[in-house]
Structure 1
Amino acid sequence: MNYTLKQYTQLLRQSVLFWTIAMVLYSIFRYYGIESEEGLAVIKKYNGTLGVLYYFVKLINIGILIGVLYATVDFVFDVITKNRISLIYNIIIRTLLHFLVTFIVFTLITDVFTTLTYTHSNVHSVWCCFNKSFWAVILYIVFASFVFSFIKIANEKFGKGVFINILLGKYKNPQEEKRIFMFLDLKDSTTIAEKLGHFKYSQLIQDCFYDLNKVVPKHNAEIYQYVGDEVVLSWPYKKGLANNNCVNLFFAFQQRKQAKAAYYLKKYGVVPEFKAGLHGGKLMVTEVGIVKKEIAYHGDVINTSARIQGQCNTYKVPLLISDKLIQDLKISANLTCQFLGSVLLKGKQEEVNIHTIAKV
């Protein structure tokens, strides 16, 4: 419940900010300098500095209203569909819902319409539907909805914050960062794939990653890559350590799968189990590619994380973590930590101390 409220609050904040800016831009695009145009009648109370300020305040209020309405519509829509419909239908249905909400609000609250169109309206509110200015405003809002949806989709495609970093060119030149990586892989994947067949197996992976995505935002993780039945997750170092996010995400994912054990058993005949390897430290981050641009991480940290995860079968534990990382974590009372020894990982010249963590 708290997580759902957090999701809605975040969406509400983004929506209100976007639509407040969109409404202010609308006023600039359409009405800047209108009082100097010959033959155009403007509302007297909007003349002068105080009039403009009054008008801008009203527009900001309208932006907040639209932001709240659209955030609520989008949140309810996402809860109902669970993001399980195709992208094209998602955009079309979402835009139609935005259109209907805008249409209803503008016809019921005439003052909103008259503020946006900079005109008087002394007749019944339904009259707005036959006004060209009404449809001009609707067209602008529909276009702005597409822009907002595009930004939202791009942010989901590239990962939280990555799209903005690409736009700003933050990683055009390699940058050093300190991060934590988790390599999360399906156990006994070959056996399960042979049993289920490629179609059913693909559905299983899809369901598992859907459940994983439900716990990722709660623990401030970023999904770096999906590679077959493996996922690579990442945290800025401090965010990964905070509240033991990098460890608690794994147990939250396990708990979610166990809560849906009946579903997995009925559909696939197996409850999927995952193994994970964790390591952290400094590495380089840079933007790569032209046709398919993305942010890439280069360095020993990411390779070591993958090698540690590869030792899970050897030690027969679901979670392994490097000694370097565990020293920076604050192990809480509900977790137990066990040192397993030193191992010479493939490609390494020095042995790495590894531990396992279990939930009490």
Structure 2
Amino acid sequence: MKRSIKNYLRLLWQSVLFWSLAMGFFSIFRYYGIDEEEGIYMIQEYRGYTGTIRALMGFSSIGILIGFVYATIDLLFDKYASNKISLVYNLIIRTIFYFITTVIIFTIIMDIFSDIYNLNLDTNRGWWKENKSFWATILYIVMVSFVFSFIKIATEKFGRGVFIKMLLGKYKSPQEEKRIFMFLDLKDSTTIAEKLGHFKYSQFIQDCFYDLNTVVPKHEAEIYQYVGDEAVLSWPYKKGLANNNCVSLFFAFQQKKQSKANYYQEKYGMIPEFKAGLHGGKLMVTEVGVIKKEIAYHGDVINTSARIQAECNNHKVKLLISEELLHDLSISSNLSATFLGSVLLKGKQKEVNIHTIKKAL
């Protein structure tokens, strides 16, 4: 619950800041110096710097309300509708909600400023239908919304902070980073695929990864890639260690699946089980591709993480972690770590000590 509130507050302040600045800039573009244009007459209240300041305050107030309302709408849609309706219907319904709330916000702000500055602004029912200034503002909001959506999609694609670094060209040349990787794989995937058939199996994987995405933001993780029935997650090293994020995510995902056990049982006749391997260390990160740009990680950390996950079946456990990473974690009292021995992973010349971590009942 606390993490959900934290994520909402982060989305809220970003949305409020973006829209207050966007609408503030619009007021400057729209009103600054307009009374000096030849052939344009402005009433006294809108002339000079005083009028510009009033417009700036009014539109910034609109931006704050728009940011608050849009962030709330996005949160509700992402939580309750994003996996239930198509993208087209999602966009259409969101747009309708955006438009209705925008009309309401403009009406409220216009009423307030009419009272404060004794302006005779028309806010009667349907005022917006023939108001050209309102439609000009709506067109601006639509264009700015595309910018905001682009930034949001790019941030979700590459992860928070990575998009900005890409814009600045940080990864044009390989950079060394210290990260934690988790390879998360569906247990008995071949058997499940044969039982369900390819269509229902795809729905099964889709549901699993949708549930995974509900817990990923709460544990500061970034999804590096999906490979069939496997997901590869990563954290900057300190973020992965904080609050045991890299371990807690796995148990949160398990809990999420158990909370939907009836749904999975009724729809697929089984409850999915995943196994995971964790390891961390230094590796190289760089931007690759021209037609389709991606961030790629190169180094032994990824290979070791994948091979640790492959050992889960041999040891009949769901979660394995390297001793090197375990030593940097602060295991809480509700978790217990068990040493399983040293294994010579495929392709490695040096043995790696591995542990399993279980949650106390």
TM tier, smaller = over 0.9
Q: Secondary structure at the match of 1:283?
A: strand
Matched, 1:87 2:87: yes
Q: Does 1:144 align with 2:148?
A: no
**Greater alpha carbon shift after TM alignment, 160-169 vs 338-347:** 160-169
Tell me which amino acid in the other structure corresponds to 1:222: E
Equivalent residue, structure 2, for 1:34 = 34
Q: Displacement of 1:306 after TM fit?
A: 0.6
* Corresponding residue SS for 2:348: coil
- Structure 1 residue 91, shift from structure 2 partner: 2.1
1:105/1:59 CA distance change after superposition, 3 Å: closer
Alignment-derived partner of residue 234 in structure 1: 234
The alpha-carbon deviation at position 217 of structure 1 amounts to 0.7
1:108 to 1:31, Cα distance in 2 relative to 1, 3 A: closer
Tell me the distance in 1 between the aligned counterparts of 2:149 and 2:142: 10
Residue of structure 1 in register with 2:329 after alignment? 329
Amino acid across the alignment from 2:277: G
Query: 1-side partners of 2:121 and 2:269: how far apart?
Result: 67
CA contact (8 A) 1:174 1:286 kept: yes
Give, in whole Å, the separation in 1 of the partners of 2:18 and 2:7.
17
Specify the code of the residue in structure 2 equivalent to 1:58: G
Describe how 1:268-307 pairs up with structure 2 within 5 A.
Answer: 268-307=268-307
| Secondary structure at the counterpart of residue 317 of structure 2 | coil
Provide the residue aligned with 1:349 in structure 2. Answer: 349
1-structure distance, mates of 2:135, 2:303: 56
Q: How many residues align?
A: 358
* Structure 1 contact 95–145 (Cα < 8 Å) conserved: no
Instruction: Tell me the SS of whatever aligns to 2:38.
Output: coil
Extract unaligned runs of 5+ from structure 2.
none
- What does residue 105 of structure 1 align with? 105
Alignment match, 2:159: 159
Q: What residue is the counterpart of 1:75 in the other structure? A: 75
Gaps of 5+ in 1: 115-119
Distance in structure 2 (CA, Å) of the matches to 1:7 and 1:157: 17
CA distance in 2, matches of 1:156, 1:89: 21
Task: After superposition, give the CA deviation of every residue in 1:41-98 in whole Å (9 maximum; x if it has no partner).
Answer: 2343444445544442333222111111222222233333144332232222212221
What is the CA–CA distance in structure 2 between the aligned matches of 1:267 and 1:188, rounded to whole Å? 18
Deviations 1:113-159 (A, max 9, x none): 98xxxxx6444534443122121112212222233233223322333
Amino acid in the other structure paired with 2:30? R
Q: Which residue of 2 aligns with 1:243?
A: 243
Distance 2:165 2:86 in 1: 27
> In the aligned structure 1, how far is the partner of 2:264 from the partner of 2:127?
55
Are positions 1:174 and 2:174 aligned together? yes
Q: Corresponding residue for 1:340?
A: 340
C-alpha distance in 2, partners of 1:357/1:255?
15
For 1:183 and 1:113, how far apart are their aligned partners in 2?
56
In the other structure, the counterpart of 1:192 is 192
Query: 2:210 is matched with which residue?
Result: 210
- Alignment match, 1:13: 13
Deviating more after overlay: 260-269 vs 203-212: 260-269
User: Hey, what does 2:219 align to over in structure 1?
Assistant: 219
Distance 1:36 1:347 in 2: 75
1:106–1:112 CA contact under 8 A, matched in 2: no
> What letter matches 2:145 in structure 1?
S
CA distance in 1, matches of 2:121, 2:253: 58
Cα deviation code 1:272-303 (max 9, x no counterpart): 11111100000011111111111110111111
Contact kept, 8 Å, 2:337 with 2:356, in 1: the verdict is yes
Q: SS of 2:292's equivalent?
A: coil
- Inter-CA distance 313–264: structure 2 relative to 1 (3 Å threshold): same
SS of the residue corresponding to residue 140 of structure 2 reads helix
Write the distance in 2 (CA, Å) between the matches of 1:268 and 1:124.
54
RMSD over equivalenced CA pairs, Å: 2.3
Structure 1 window deviating more from structure 2 (167-176 vs 102-111): it is 102-111
2:226 partner amino acid:
Y
SS at match of 1:253: helix
Worse-superposed segment, 300-309 or 150-159: 150-159
Secondary structure (helix, strand or coil) at the match of 2:307 reads helix
- The residue type paired with residue 348 of structure 1 is K
Alpha-carbon separation, structure 1, partners of 2:43 and 2:331: 65
